[in-house]
Structure 1
Amino acid sequence: MAPTSLLLLLLLLACAAPLPLQLRAADTPTIRLYMHDVVSGSGATAVQVIKGPASSSGNGGVSTGFGDTTVIDDALTETSSPTSREVGRAQGFYMVASQSSPALMMCINLYFTSGDNNGSTIAVMGHDDTAAAVRELSVVGGTGKFRMATGYVVWKTATMTPSDGVFELDVYVTTPNGTTIDASAPVSPLDGGGGSSGGGSSTAKSGAAAPGRMRGWVNACVVGLVVVVLLVGRGW
């Protein structure tokens, strides 16, 4: 192989796009939460604000007709027990969005109020067919550690009574560059954070440093191309 051809081959290999970081196993959620939706009693966290024309009142005070809309401020805990440690609140609303099945349109923020994720949010939207054993909703954004995140939530009903329901939320969150955000990943120094994460091992950090690495890679490729042009022009 001619020296020039060998140099071009090495340059192409050096400029190849870096491989993405390996994602977590598909069966390992980034975060597991339990949401407690209390629809009646003095400690109710779900309040109906719109009643549809076909409403019925057979669900503990929250009707289930098409168009019914309920605002929530539900506790998020570490386990299914209502007395377990609270880590945040599920704040938003759900509405009955189907005329033929008990399906809801969910629009909520998972707002963290303690721990390493304190102050961060994960925005969740999607179709919740309450008759199904397992549902999947979309992660459409976030703030703080989960800024511009995407992903999905595997949603299950843990227990259900006329006055309250407990739901298991397995949250899978990814950064814009495709790497999984660990629940214990530190905030970027640009956000005023940094340092150790304080609990739990991180399998992948956020992509805050990715733009700097990309600029360095592009600069290296440009320099390499200039060298090749000079060498070829001199007949090397």
Structure 2
Amino acid sequence: MEGSRFVLVLALALTAITPTLSTYHSATLLNVRHREKVTHLHFYLFDIISGTKPSAVEVARPKGTKYDKSATPFGSVWAIDDALREGPEFTSKVVGNAQGLYVSSVQDENSLGLVMYADFGFTTGKFNGSSFSVFSRNPIMEPGERELAVVGGRGRFRMAKGFVKVKTQFLNVTNGDAILEYKVTLVHY
């Protein structure tokens, strides 16, 4: 018994001090040309906070904001699973959903701004199973269109880059429900 422990300890010690030979490996494919494609998308995002089945829910609120009565006090975090529809009506066909987070990032109580990460996935049509990702500042209170950055994609939008023009179509300032028009320009392979 004592001898087998000694052999085990000796084997572990020798393993620990034995040099290991390894090399970093990478491969680069030369002369492979991918043709970039440009895709334009147009849809409406329904961000619903009210009701019995909201598509956006607050998941965190920092201490010190419990008396802040605004819909999105500074530092609050919201999880979203918003419907993407062909038109601005609730009866419009659903084409996908946007899932992700947004964080209230403006301290001024008279303004509203978010930092948003969302993956816009499509569930119908030729882009079914594909998505693009947005990670950007979203200054909600700016009039007209706002621009967000596209930082990636998958499926038919693999390696996407581009931008989104967002315009608020409807905003209920009482409960925070919103319908947003998205015009997207994607450059991808």
TM-score (norm: length of structure 1): 0.59
User: What whole-Å deviation, never above 9, does each CA across 1:87-113 have from its counterpart, x for those lacking one?
Assistant: 000100111112234110010000111
Larger RCO (alpha carbons 8 Å, 6+ apart): 2
**Rounded Cα–Cα distance in structure 2 between residues aligned with 1:155 and 1:58:** 22
Instruction: State whether structure 2 residue 96 is matched by structure 1 residue 96.
Output: no
| Greater fraction of residues in helix | 1
Q: Name the aligned partner's letter for residue 102 of structure 2.
A: Y
- 2:84 is the alignment partner of 1:76: yes
Do residues 160 (structure 1) and 171 (structure 2) align? yes
Shift of 1:123: 0.3
Partner of 1:30, secondary structure, is: strand
Separation of aligned partners in 1, 2:69 and 2:103: 15
Aligned to 1:44: 54
The match for 2:30 is none
In 2, Cα distance between equivalents of 1:57 and 1:165: 18
Gapped regions of structure 1 (runs ≥ 5): 1-19, 176-206, 208-236
Deviation at 1:67, TM superposition (A): 0.4
Secondary structure (helix, strand or coil) at the match of 2:106 reads: coil
Structure 1: distance between partners of 2:142 and 2:88: 19
CA-to-aligned-CA distance 1:120-165 (integer Å, 9 cap, x gap):
1110111111111221110000000000010000011100113310
Q: Distance between the aligned counterparts of 2:94 and 2:132, measured in 1?
A: 16
1:173 aligns with 2:186: yes
Relative to 1, partners in 2 of residues 1:173 and 1:144: Cα closer, same or farther, differing over 3 Å?
Answer: same
RMSD of equivalent CA atoms: 2.0
SS at match of 2:133: strand
- Which one-letter code corresponds to 2:170 in the other structure? T
Q: Please tell me the residue identity of whatever aligns with 1:144.
A: G
The match for 2:153 among 133, 137, 142 is: 142
* Within-5 A mapping of 1:1-236: 30-52=40-62, 53-55=64-66, 56-59=68-71, 64-100=72-108, 101-133=111-143, 134-161=145-172, 162-163=174-175, 164-175=177-188, 207=189
**Cα gap change, 1:113/1:57 in structure 2, threshold over 3 Å: closer, same or farther?**
farther
Unaligned runs of 5+ in 2: 1-34
- Greater share of strand: 2
Deviation (angstroms), 1:58: 4.1
- Structure 1 outlier segments of 4+, above 3 Å: none
Partner residue, 2:23? none
Name the counterpart of 2:21.
none
TM-score, length basis structure 2: 0.73
Q: Which residue of 2 aligns with 1:7?
A: none
C-alpha separation between the residues in 2 aligned to 1:110 and 1:66?
25
Give the AA of the match of 2:116.
M
* Cα deviation 1:172-216 (Å, max 9, x = unaligned): 1002xxxxxxxxxxxxxxxxxxxxxxxxxxxxxxx4xxxxxxxxx
Q: Once the 2 structures are TM-superposed, how far is the Cα of residue 54 of structure 1 from its aligned partner?
A: 2.3
The alpha carbon displacement at 1:57 in A equals 3.5
